[in-house]
Amino acid sequence: MLTIRYQSESETERRKRIRKVLSILRNEFPQPSCALLHENPLQLLIATILSAQCTDARVNKVTPDLFAKYPDVGALASAPLSSLMEIIRSTGFFRNKAMNIHQCAQAIQRKHDGKIPRTMDELVALPGVGRKTANVVLGTAFGIPGLPVDTHVKRISNLLGFTDSENPEKIEQQLCAIIPKKDWTDASHLFILHGRKTCIARRPRCWQCTIQKRCPSRQG
């Protein structure tokens, strides 16, 4: 439960606090970036689809073989499902992911002339693509502000008292309302990096946390 101080926090105060939090985290992580290895928007899109219920490290072990064998939209669209499933098996839920990748590539080829679309509406219309994946592609591949909400962002934004929901779309809306648009993509990266290094689920290292003084959920 939030302390009285943060329960009565105005939106203006919340905006100031999150900007300070992001400033501190940016000093700790000067070059926040997406951990998924990729060379182009298509690779980032596919890697993000694969990252559902899977670590980025595992995805990064799988994608080199996948993209070496199927390097473009056309190749993925015509790839045998059995081959896709075998390559991505270790990422979990590989049957659904293989089907989504296959259908997504076909849709890109059919509806977008083989090019990755650059709008939220067009991206989420693709098979296997939700708002998180679309925001990753928009922000990282195209430099279009987007705030992907993964498990780290959801957990940390709630612990910090900036959001009060378990719904990723509502969390995205709440964060975007108090973070300058130009910082949306970096904010997501910074929360993810903080979640992996310090604010670890079930064993947070509050004694090492650079933003603990601004966290109502801090321990100790």
Instruction: List, in order, residues 6 or more apart from 87 with CB less than 8 Å away.
Output: 62, 65, 66, 69
Active site residue 183: no
Residue 113 φ/ψ region, left for φ over 0, alpha for ψ in the -120 to 50 degree band, beta for the rest: left
Instruction: List, in order, residues 6 or more apart from 115 with CB less than 8 Å away.
Output: 108
What DSSP designation does 117 have?
Answer: -
The answer to whether 50 touches 96, Cβ cutoff 8 Å, is no
Given 111, 115, 121, 132, the catalytic residue? 132
Length of the chain: 220
Given 97, 150, 154, 186, the catalytic residue? 150
Distance of alpha carbon 44 from alpha carbon 36, whole angstroms: 7
Active site residue 115: no
Catalytic positions, please? 132, 150
